[in-house]
Structure 1
Amino acid sequence: MQAQASEPVLLFQLRAGSASFPHVLPPTALDAFPWLQVLAAASKLLYIIASDPNRRILATALSEPLINQSDRQFPHLRGIREYLYLALGLNVSCFSAKMSTVTTETMAQIKTFVQDKVHQTTDAAGLSATETRKKAQVTLKQAQATSSAVANSSMDQLQSLLDQLNRSRVVNDVKLLGQAPNLLVSGLTGGGLDDRKMLLEQLITLLASIPVTSNISRTLSNALITIIWGDLPHPPVSFMGPEHRFRRADGSDNNIQIPKLGAANQPYSRNVQRTQPQPVNLPDPGTVYDLLLARDSFEPHPSGISSLLFNFANIIIHDIFSTTRKPGAHSSYNEHSSYLDLQVLYGANQEEQRRVRTGTMGLLKPDAIGDWRLVMMPPSTTALAIMFCRSHNYIAKRLYEVNEGHRFDDLEGEPLDEELFGIARLVNCGLFLHIILRDYIPVILNTNDSEWYVDPLEVISNVPGVGKVERGIGNSVAAEFSVLYRWHAAVSQMDEKWMNDFLSSRFPGRKPEEVSPKEFVEAAAEIKSEFADTDPGEWNLHDWERDAQGKFSDAVLAQVVKDAVSDVAAAFRARGHPSWFRPIEILGQITARKDWALCTMNEFRHFLGLKTYSSFREWNPDPKVYEAAEMLYGDIDNLELYPGLMAEEAKPSIPGSGLCPGYTISRGILSDAAALTRGDRFYTNDFSTSNLTSRGYEHSTAPQPGSHGLMGKLIMSTLPGQFTYNSVYALYPFRIPSKTIQMLKEKRVLEHYDTSYPAPARRWHAIESYSASRNLLADSAFFVTLPSVSYDESLMSSALQTISGWQGVVGEFYSVNTDTLMKARSIPFAPSGGQRIVDLLDIVNTVSAQFTSTLFGLPTPGTHGLHLGMSPQELFLMLAKPLAFAMYGSFDFQGHQTWQLEEQSETCKRRLKNLIWARLHTIDGILSPVFSLVQNISNVLGGPGNIAAGEMAKQFYHALLASGKTNDQLVRDCLNMMISLTATHSLVMMQIFKWFLLEENAEELSAMYTLAQKTDPDSMDAMRRRLMEAYRVSSITPAQPKFALQSVVLPDADGAKVQVQVGDGVFISPSALYRDPLLSDDPERYSASSDVPVRLGLGDAPSQAILEVALPAMARQFFKHAGLRMAPTGPPPVVNDAGPNPNEKLPYFVGNRGTEHPLPMETSMHLIYEAQ
């Protein structure tokens, strides 16, 4: 089998199903097995040269040690050999050829390289040889199964059918003809149809050419109409009118065709027809409670579910159920909607909603909730509702800051308030929904250690016998499910104590059995009246104190959450309901029996498709329970739904069963969850970036890194600094920590998590003058910077100086490359005229990465030859992500951002270290023969000198190697300098150009245009000073924080003193860093002649020196053009996240997909200019 060298790609990225390579490793193999990287580059090289017999001696020379030495030294790599052989297209005999062109010394060096590299990568991955072999075998089997599968799709059959008809107008294959309608439907509607193949057009042309009266014509015509009719919903499910965009206060208009379906103040629906005759003398509800439900002892939940899950369940249950208890009103009405729309927060009608809103900017009143009933719930239920209130305001502010598509530009006053409120509510409810789907239900199903989750929202079509599964058609909660969700048996000991104290204070000196349902309803009505006339922003909730802004203490709310996570819930079981639920349970039984006349237990099971019970013992095998029930009801078919659900035998805790309620409840809640979510228009047809914005959609759907759910995002974004970014208390709060720790151990990822009980939030101090305290802050005896990106700045500066005329060389590099890229990547802005448009950040990022590649000798991908390196765009991101983590990674009030920053940083640094390590060894001679060989092969193939180090890199590395430092030390120094240098360019340049292109700075822009026409040293120095000054007055990025190693007093502006204790953080704001009141009389004013020092990036000396040369050289290429201005799209949006105090915020740049970054990444900033 001869390999085809037409596509130079990695062996591990070959297309599945390729004719030349029937067995292919999946793309994930490199990620799964890091040690495969040592073979990747070689296989890529050999793949290119394998088809040319004249080059096979080179293939032999390079592959023999890589494969045979690996086989002998590392048996767990043997499974790779056959795939390398296939990729090479070489016979085994080829490998026995004489290697006359390669010296013994070279082979020994290659052997050492392979041996060391495999050991390094295997150890880094934490894999033993045995583990690696097992994982490799699994991956290879999966690859073989995938790649050897023969395509036998309906598309192929459909094409065959059309081919036969086109040839002869006759189909000889009767079976194929009978399948024609199904083939058409599945082929043309199955998704991913390649319309460039003109399949539909072939069909239409065929139909036009055959007799209309023929059977095949009628069959295909009918199938065609079925297809084009089925493309669109009938009737439409989503409308564009502004009145349909947002959720209404009462939940109406969810189904536009039936607006009242599921709205508040509508009757409960009934799911089950009752046909079983009701006994004349049903047992007394109090007796039923005493014999079947009353808690006799506490039994911890078998799955270790925390009480926080059941307090979250309180939010869900009270969101969709609010039975009318008004005097004279019928209890068959639900005062809340039948949708998961957070009416417990927003209110269930327009008046309740008005009371919780501020009326400005779409905001809710601080820490306000809309449902007085939550006052009668344990503190953690109330805390969760308050967190959703904070989440709403967090989202509303974000939406306005991002201003996606400039949608808020023309709005003000009430229209702006309504728009922001409506979108923020959609996003907040979307977050609520995805916490249910990805945190709550996975614990219920005992699958929260898996990325898989039940997703009832997706479009489901072409189901055999069903067709499309409807969604977004509305919902109405049923009375049967109001009974099903009485989960009082799961109340924890801590929450039971709270309830005992709360109700004892309402009924002093009385026992639960002495309080009647009527008295309980009256007491609840009194509580309601206490809150009815009070502003929700002033409600006294659990005696928590509000501050001047009306907010509760973060520490108080966090303590409530921590305690609830630590508090194990009770097991579902008969005789498990706490005593003070007695009047509530009696009231529930009376309502179910008298007002609603619900079905029996067996009728409900029959409705759900479950086997009906034949005896009380089958229902619950506990003799104390089934004997009591049999005495009360006599016949199992008489067992009422309420006690039947509450006292049924509980499911065991096994995979797939985590909640462990009664068997019937377990089945019912899944059906109801599907109805509540899939039936909601705002969670299906209208859950889109169009309605939520891209930023809002991402916020409400993206899991919190470190977990598979979004509960951690809610906790850490609303209680900043109260939990570490990797705390199991925040990331997995619905199980008690011991159970979470056990799960993480089994997954072998425990070391990535903080399992300790969360400590109080760190104290932060914000200083006003950096110059006043910089000496102390820079003293490593007093302060430390985390994460550390320090390196030997003196050595790197000295190495830079060894490059002959380095400043001129660097300036020329940036100037020429920027000019070249601008010409190549600018496009006409209008059909006529000389105006052009270019992406500033694209140019800056590319050139800065090109310089880093040149200085540090990193291989780059050329346009032909061997593509072994990273593109400038890839390298920029590889270095930007570690810089982002270095800048923001230790702000513990940014926990919801930190995990992803750290994870991305570590991934990038591992890859970069390998590149630097390899380059060092090509300079010191150890690997130079290998790299020379590879570069020569690339040159033979017509590639540029993209692999070997250039002269600048050689001079730089020779100076480093002469220092006598170890290779590991030099790798660290090089990496940290690269991180500090590269991505800082775009951060600084973006702020500079934003400032100069402001309308009020037109005069300064004109001065820059004049300077840019000159290249003499004085003009370039003047441009440098103006650039630095523009950055000084406009910078919004704080310095890396400092952490105290011992107690110290920091001097500050105006003689102030800052008392810092061990462990405290010091926040150095951009105003303290760049607009220091001690360095200027008017620090906010721009001065072209200013000589105030400006710290760039992390402030390291080598990067600062390079940037002060590079920035003017780059900026000049833009400023030299007339008519320079910002494109209408404007600069990347900036949002402000929580800082160390209410007055200090952390800026984030919003990417094109709505993601947030400390640096301008994955975004653009377009400029328009007149071409010269």
Structure 2
Amino acid sequence: MADKFLDLLGGSPDGKGSNGKAKDAPPSTTSSANKSPPSPDLSTRLSWVAKAILRSFSAIPETPYSTAGNTVDATATTGILEDLQKMGFKDVETLLEFLHTAVHGVQDDSKLLLERIVDLLSKLPPSSREGAALESGFIHQLWNSLQHPVLTTLDDKFKYREADGSNNNPYMPQLGAAGTPYARTTPPMTYQRPDAPEPSLLFDTLMRRGDGFQEHPNRISSVLFYMATLITHDIFQSDGKRSGINLTSSYLDLAPLYGRNKEEQLAVRALEAGRLKPDSFSSKRVHGFPPGVGVLIIMFNRFHNYVVTQLAAINEGGRFKKEPTAQELKGKDAATQEALRAAALAKYDEDLFQTGRLVTCGLYVNIILRDYVRTILNVNRSDTAWALDPRIKDGQNIFSKPTPEATGNQVSVEFNFLYRWHSAISVRDQEWTNDAFKEILGTDDPEAMKFEEFLGKLHSFEAALDDDPVKRQFHKIKRKEDGSLPDDDLVKVWFESVEDVAGSFGANRVPPVLKHVEILGIIQARQWNVATLNEFREFFGLTRHRTFEDINPDPEVATKLRNLYDSPDSVELYPGLVIEKAKPPIDPGSGLCVNFTTSRAILSDAVALVRGDRFYTVDYTPKHLTNWGFNEASYDAKVNNSHVIYKLVFRAFPNHFRRDSIYAHFPFTVPSENAKFLAKIHKDHLYSWDRPSPVGDLILVRSYDTVKKVLGNQKDYTVVWGDAIRFLTEKDGHAPGATFCLAGDKRANAESRNLVLDALYGPEAWESEVSRFYSKMVPVLLKKYSYTWETASEVEKKKPGTHAREVDIVRDVINLANTRLCAALFNLPIKIEENPWGVLTEQELYLAATAIFSSIFFDSDIAKSSQVRNVAKELAGQLERLVIVAAHAVDKVGIVTDAVESVRGYWRGEGFPAIAGYGHELIRHLLEKDKSVEECVRGTILPFISSNVPNQSALLAQCLDFYLEEENKHHLEELYRLAHENTDEADLKITKYMLEGSRIRGTVAVYRDVQTATSLPDSVPAIPNPSDPTHVNPLTPPSQTQFHLPLRKGDRLLLSLASASRDPTIFPEPDKVKLDRPISSYIHFGSGPHKCAGMELSIVAQTALFKQIVGLKNLRRAEGDRGHMKSMPARKWKGQVKGKREREAEEGAWSGLRVYMLADQSGYWPVPTTMKVEWDE
């Protein structure tokens, strides 16, 4: 019996004994080397015994041939103790990391957590309860990593917004489309009396505004309510013939501008290059509103037209194709080719229009969230950039799933009544509406008109308007020849609206002239059987109004309600929403001070409208809008705490506003109220408070003699950079930068220039030291930043044994070499491999210098000015602290501190100990003039660095770009030869080549303000070359015809040194490289009292740098767009697409001015940013 029991302990269900053999098998004859594996441990054998015992007590199965439920294993599960026996410490760590990932929703895949989870699951027994839970969680995580269903597709029919709003949700294409019924938010379950109060009686007792006007408690301007009107008519336009049908889409797609369907959209489009017809909009209803509403929509029209002109000019990745390719035309007859060209042009217009619409709507929704909603919540009065933005990426974790997005939207009938904010109409707009209704209705007493007649007159007014939007009269403002409206008239409407205080919410605040409009609303609400006010409140989780005083605590209003309705539960949604008590101002929290129920519901609606829209969520990407378009529509949290409407104002009216105008930055609140809360957060000094006024156009001066004459006359033509330099260098009310040589034309500015000159050119042999610097530094940069491709290039195939290397010659060599020179000059502790204890990297130093440079000398885009200045101010502070380290060392002990000494040691190790001495001399000169270290840095050194590095880098980059052209290959071959001669004569020729290349391809221009009315002679040295789409190779006109420029005091001149450098009277055959031109004739370094103080230093430095670059063997552009600097002619946007005559006149004059693009093409930049070249080792 004992033996049988021992056999049982070592046995198994297959009948084998403890030695692993069948019980009846013969004895083993194998050697010890072939012994069977050790027998199972005691716990395993006991486990089987337990199962056997349990099996013996189980009932006889009713269905003996069924496999389900016949075994203990089918239902028994193991617990955590059994699981832990299978796990090691690493497995426990895996569990903890999995839990961490589940909680936070983010996984560090470098830790191979997924693979470790698989390993852990494979170790646990199939019956593990915890294992099953872990596996379930794992599958849950994998499932939820993807959208179900996917919200966006590659189908082109979902690429753009449809005119009618359909296809927003690809799986429910008609959801929210124009022409579909309103949704219902709240079921009407309360018994409502059939004999409800007369609509006319309700208006007269509870809604009519009396003689007194109660202005808005937060002094919100009428402009906010113009935006509200635009939003309301964007998503609500009821069909008067078909009850319950919404004629517009349920999406914020700017339907009042673009139209509600394809027919209306085509009517407002110019059908040329993606543009809209000038200063027009689709909606006819808007013509019945105060002019400020129409002006706001016209501003979006202008923004759209600005956007499409830039999209076409940038043409990111060649996505906007105007012509069919040669391959597409190959072999086709003339008629087919013509049809293909027409189709390509139509697609070009369509793609530009639709992309421009996406960008414009992007700005629209950002204005809603960042200006409109922030003002509604009173967050605009706090020094915070927070906003209620439904597009937040909330992610998923163990506790929650992401909030659904891109589901589509269907506006509801209840919200149709929620946005009827007639109580807020100002006194001014009430008077305008009175006059307009008298004209439209043909009566002096609109209230006395019968209701049906009133509706008929309104329909007749709308029907009489021309179907072509550009032919409609807009508020008695006469259109110009090109169809646009005069800026002066539109701006006047705008600033008067910004100053106009809106009304407050509550009972008895609606202007009497709107009586019939309100009656229509009450009748519609009853016809559509909407829920009661209390039912609507209950739907949003708000308490029911239990007394009439809860609805409105004003005793008179409560009494009227009590007389009209039996109970608070009987009060209708409309007019209940209008007469309900309003919220008080709460800072932050309540800014709109609207009725209680409305204040809660509109926030839910805002979230639904934005988060449910595919084009504002999953498809709101740089790929859909382009990088530039996405950036143009975006807000900057550091500008106005993320308010962004200033972009719309500046793009619409670039010639009327100062960059800091309060009328552009915060138009939703009247200026006097803005002044109060901006002073409270210490920001009122950042804005100007004058009314907008016209700013004259820049007057372009082109000829060499006239440019030089103006530059030499400080009395009549003064520099314009003082304000920007003062802004950047100001601290605690003191701006030492005001005396910098480029900041003004006074004696102190001249003294600053002399100090710089004495310090720069005082030391002996500075030319050779600078040259040695570049000869050492450029090879270091080339080695660090260049790379070679494993795949041989065409050149390598032709020349076996050679290896092509590639580098971004602008970003990584030219920019950084000049940056390192300045760092050496002023002992700036930059962080590089040779100096790991530095503060700023060389890239950060260059970026700081360029941002400051841009804000001072190229702050010409008013819509970007605030952003550029803010970034420059911040970076200037960082750069200032860096320079002060070196400057204090000179002030305190006359030598550098240990840390800076280490930096100098690096420079000395490279063989140029004299370089750092120049900066010391400059600082000593300034200190001798009783200036503090901070004044030295902010007033001279900082402006010097920021004006030198970017400017000189740009000149050399443009020069190199010229010589890399295929037609200039022979010049590069000669330059390669000269670079390797290493003689003074050869170096002088390289200097001449450098000066010629920067003359021909340079884009330098400077401004001057006219102080005395006069007249200047001028001529046009260069004209556009029709065969050159890049506009970099102009033609020289056959003769120079002089004309005169009449000047008034206050005019601003733009002196094109690029054009002057091509003046054939000074530079014969200006498009050719000629090495016999006098160095003194070159003007692209400036002329007169403000001529570049570092000109001699720059010529030596850039020659040395140029020599190192052209000395590379077989230097050439990298293949494709990477080998080119992305740029385009700089043309000033004047608010609207110009008429044909103006466009032809502008295109007939060549200025030579260009703008460059950032490497990702998300924005413009004043200097080249990237260009890759190759050479052979």
- Report the TM range for the smaller structure's normalisation: 0.7 to 0.9
Counterpart position of 1:214 = 128
Counterpart position of 2:660 = 726
Which of the residues 734, 747, 750 maps onto 2:684? 750
Q: Secondary structure at the match of 1:469?
A: coil
Q: Is the 8 A contact 1:698 1:1154 kept in 2?
A: no
Q: Between 553-562 and 259-268, report the one with greater CA deviation.
A: 553-562
CA RMSD of aligned residues (A): 3.2
Counterpart position of 1:860 = 830
Q: Report the CA distance shift for 1:965/1:1029 in structure 2 as closer, same or farther (over 3 A).
A: same
Counterpart position of 1:127 = none
Write the mapping of 1:690-701 to structure 2, written as runs, cut at 5 A: 690-701=623-634
Question: What letter is aligned with 1:649?
Answer: K
Counterpart position of 1:381 = 293
Q: Is the 8 A contact 1:859 1:948 kept in 2?
A: no
Which of the residues 805, 817, 833 maps onto 1:836? 805
Distance across 1 between alignment mates of 2:911 and 2:978: 38
Counterpart position of 1:25 = none
Which of the residues 1058, 1061, 1067 maps onto 2:1045? 1058
> Are 1:1036 and 2:1003 matched, yes or no?
yes
Distance across 1 between alignment mates of 2:970 and 2:407: 59
Which of the residues 1170, 1173, 1176 maps onto 1:1164? 1170
Q: Secondary structure at the match of 2:279?
A: coil
TM-score by length of 2: 0.79
Counterpart position of 1:1024 = 991
Q: In the TM superposition, what is the alpha-carbon distance from 1:635 to its structure 2 partner?
A: 2.6
Question: What letter is aligned with 1:317?
Answer: T
Q: Is the 8 A contact 1:864 1:944 kept in 2?
A: no
Q: Secondary structure at the match of 1:1068?
A: strand
Q: Between 1138-1147 and 823-832, report the one with greater CA deviation.
A: 1138-1147
Distance across 1 between alignment mates of 2:623 and 2:673: 40
Q: Secondary structure at the match of 1:489?
A: helix
Q: Secondary structure at the match of 1:1129?
A: helix
Q: Report the CA distance shift for 1:265/1:504 in structure 2 as closer, same or farther (over 3 A).
A: same
Q: In the TM superposition, what is the alpha-carbon distance from 1:184 to its structure 2 partner?
A: 4.3
Q: Report the CA distance shift for 1:1037/1:407 in structure 2 as closer, same or farther (over 3 A).
A: farther
Q: Is the 8 A contact 2:98 2:113 kept in 1?
A: no
Distance across 2 between alignment mates of 1:203 and 1:456: 35
Counterpart position of 2:205 = 291
Q: Report the CA distance shift for 1:932/1:456 in structure 2 as closer, same or farther (over 3 A).
A: closer
Q: Report the CA distance shift for 1:445/1:862 in structure 2 as closer, same or farther (over 3 A).
A: closer
Q: Report the CA distance shift for 1:410/1:554 in structure 2 as closer, same or farther (over 3 A).
A: closer
Distance across 2 between alignment mates of 1:1017 and 1:635: 102
Counterpart position of 2:535 = 603
Q: Report the CA distance shift for 1:501/1:464 in structure 2 as closer, same or farther (over 3 A).
A: farther
Q: Is the 8 A contact 1:301 1:568 kept in 2?
A: yes
Counterpart position of 1:494 = 428
Q: Report the CA distance shift for 1:687/1:1047 in structure 2 as closer, same or farther (over 3 A).
A: same
Q: Report the CA distance shift for 1:471/1:581 in structure 2 as closer, same or farther (over 3 A).
A: same
> Are 1:978 and 2:971 matched, yes or no?
no
Q: Between 912-921 and 244-253, report the one with greater CA deviation.
A: 912-921
Q: Report the CA distance shift for 1:610/1:960 in structure 2 as closer, same or farther (over 3 A).
A: closer
Q: In the TM superposition, what is the alpha-carbon distance from 1:491 to its structure 2 partner?
A: 0.7
Q: Is the 8 A contact 2:886 2:900 kept in 1?
A: no
Counterpart position of 1:953 = 916
> Are 1:550 and 2:483 matched, yes or no?
yes
Distance across 1 between alignment mates of 2:968 and 2:459: 63
Q: Is the 8 A contact 1:796 1:960 kept in 2?
A: no
Q: Secondary structure at the match of 1:983?
A: helix
Q: Is the 8 A contact 1:884 1:1157 kept in 2?
A: no
> Are 1:1134 and 2:1100 matched, yes or no?
no
Q: Is the 8 A contact 1:307 1:564 kept in 2?
A: yes
Q: Report the CA distance shift for 1:1060/1:281 in structure 2 as closer, same or farther (over 3 A).
A: same
Distance across 2 between alignment mates of 1:1167 and 1:859: 30
What are structure 2's unaligned runs of at least 5 residues? 1-77, 324-343, 723-739, 743-748, 797-802, 1020-1040, 1139-1145
Q: Is the 8 A contact 1:932 1:948 kept in 2?
A: no
Q: Report the CA distance shift for 1:376/1:886 in structure 2 as closer, same or farther (over 3 A).
A: same
Listed one character per residue, the Cα deviations across residues 425-458 of structure 1 (whole Å, up to 9, x for unaligned) are: 1111111111111100010011113211001112
Write the mapping of 1:319-468 to structure 2, written as runs, cut at 5 A: 319-325=234-240, 329-408=241-320, 412-448=344-380, 449=382, 450-462=384-396, 467-468=401-402
Q: Is the 8 A contact 1:1038 1:1068 kept in 2?
A: yes
Q: Is the 8 A contact 2:83 2:128 kept in 1?
A: no
Q: Is the 8 A contact 2:1061 2:1067 kept in 1?
A: no
Write the mapping of 1:779-790 to structure 2, written as runs, cut at 5 A: 779-788=713-722, 790=742
Q: In the TM superposition, what is the alpha-carbon distance from 1:959 to its structure 2 partner?
A: 6.9
Listed one character per residue, the Cα deviations across residues 898-921 of structure 1 (whole Å, up to 9, x for unaligned) are: 223333333344444455455345
Q: Report the CA distance shift for 1:1113/1:741 in structure 2 as closer, same or farther (over 3 A).
A: same
Question: What letter is aligned with 2:686?
Answer: H
Q: In the TM superposition, what is the alpha-carbon distance from 1:775 to its structure 2 partner?
A: 3.0
Counterpart position of 1:70 = none
Identity of aligned residues (%): 30
Q: In the TM superposition, what is the alpha-carbon distance from 1:738 to its structure 2 partner?
A: 1.5
Q: Report the CA distance shift for 1:949/1:743 in structure 2 as closer, same or farther (over 3 A).
A: farther
Q: Report the CA distance shift for 1:1090/1:208 in structure 2 as closer, same or farther (over 3 A).
A: same
> Are 1:649 and 2:581 matched, yes or no?
yes
Q: Secondary structure at the match of 2:402?
A: strand
Q: In the TM superposition, what is the alpha-carbon distance from 1:202 to its structure 2 partner?
A: 1.5
Question: What letter is aligned with 1:753?
Answer: Y
Q: Between 455-464 and 981-990, report the one with greater CA deviation.
A: 455-464
Q: Report the CA distance shift for 1:715/1:1136 in structure 2 as closer, same or farther (over 3 A).
A: farther
Q: Secondary structure at the match of 2:1120?
A: coil
Which of the residues 216, 220, 232 maps onto 1:317? 232
The number of equivalent residue pairs is: 993
Q: Report the CA distance shift for 1:1145/1:316 in structure 2 as closer, same or farther (over 3 A).
A: farther
Q: Report the CA distance shift for 1:1128/1:665 in structure 2 as closer, same or farther (over 3 A).
A: same
Q: Is the 8 A contact 2:102 2:397 kept in 1?
A: no
Listed one character per residue, the Cα deviations across residues 340-359 of structure 1 (whole Å, up to 9, x for unaligned) are: 01111111111111112222
Distance across 1 between alignment mates of 2:888 and 2:482: 61
> Are 1:767 and 2:701 matched, yes or no?
yes
TM-score by length of 1: 0.80
Distance across 2 between alignment mates of 1:728 and 1:162: 69
Q: In the TM superposition, what is the alpha-carbon distance from 1:817 to its structure 2 partner?
A: 1.7
Counterpart position of 2:1107 = 1116
Question: What letter is aligned with 1:978?
Answer: I
Distance across 2 between alignment mates of 1:545 and 1:202: 74
Q: Is the 8 A contact 1:888 1:898 kept in 2?
A: no
Question: What letter is aligned with 1:884?
Answer: S
Question: What letter is aligned with 2:785?
Answer: R
Counterpart position of 1:228 = 142
Q: Which has the larger radius of gyration?
A: 2
Which of the residues 459, 462, 467 maps onto 1:528? 462
Distance across 2 between alignment mates of 1:1064 and 1:512: 51
Q: Is the 8 A contact 2:1059 2:1152 kept in 1?
A: no
Q: In the TM superposition, what is the alpha-carbon distance from 1:186 to its structure 2 partner?
A: 5.7
Q: Report the CA distance shift for 1:943/1:777 in structure 2 as closer, same or farther (over 3 A).
A: closer
> Are 1:702 and 2:631 matched, yes or no?
no
Q: Between 453-462 and 643-652, report the one with greater CA deviation.
A: 453-462
Which of the residues 478, 481, 485 maps onto 2:412? 478
Write the mapping of 1:503-522 to structure 2, written as runs, cut at 5 A: 503-522=437-456
Question: What letter is aligned with 2:354?
Answer: G
Q: Between 605-614 and 360-369, report the one with greater CA deviation.
A: 360-369
Q: In the TM superposition, what is the alpha-carbon distance from 1:1153 to its structure 2 partner?
A: 4.8
Write the mapping of 1:67-216 to structure 2, written as runs, cut at 5 A: 168-169=85-86, 184=98, 187-188=101-102, 190-216=104-130
> Are 1:1095 and 2:1084 matched, yes or no?
yes
Q: Secondary structure at the match of 1:541?
A: coil
Q: Is the 8 A contact 2:440 2:457 kept in 1?
A: yes
Distance across 1 between alignment mates of 2:902 and 2:994: 45
Q: Is the 8 A contact 2:1129 2:1154 kept in 1?
A: yes
